[in-house]
Structure 1
Amino acid sequence: MVTDTEGYVHIIEYLTEHLSLFENSADATSNGKTVMAVIENELSEQIISVCSQNEALSFNQRNTVIREVDSIVYDLQEILSGVVNNNVTPEQNMFIKEFALLIKNLFDTEIHTHLLA
């Protein structure tokens, strides 16, 4: 659905272009949340929003969205494997929020283009 699109490739490229945000942050002071916890939280919020905004999605379509998000989280764990357990910095937090919104927009586009068309 989403992970096999050109848009997803571009979003992952965007992340890799900004990997420097995640370097040398092992001693970052923050609110105690890890990079992975923030990723999971932000993606969860955006996907809840996607599903609530698209009430016409069937149970199976919603499950497909959830499986896709699981795949995205796995990809992010692979890309950020060295820092997922580090405390998140404010800059990383802002980037992750933006990244999660890009993922939501990709889902919105795919849903309206292919699932509800």
Structure 2
Amino acid sequence: MAVPALVGQKKDVGRLKLLLPDLQPQSNFCLLFHYRLAGNKVGKLRVFVKNSNSALAWEKTRSADERWKTGKIQLDPEMDTPKSIIFEAERGKGKTGEIAVDGVLLVSGLCPGGLLSVDG
């Protein structure tokens, strides 16, 4: 998914919704993905985990480093079994750059070091 800053208006939103197969309840899962926020005032990238409700699990705004980075979200086995993952890119004021997501993986088990946990 790539959302360029060149088109649209401030606060426009692009969404990518990934439907999850029937996951094993009470199991650990790790969501891994690559992301990039490049450009001046490009906007925000958010990740929501949807089960019985939608919870904001992760959010980033542009940093000085515009290289691709890896995002990790540990899905807590105590929460309801996730039904979908939603990536949301919100356009900022900038006229150049992009918000991009690539290589999304949902793996069984704990995230490798330095994890970010999502509670139910």
Scaled by the length of structure 2, the TM-score of the pair is 0.28
Greater RCO structure (CA 8 Å; 6+ sep): 1
- Report which of the two has the higher share of strand: 2
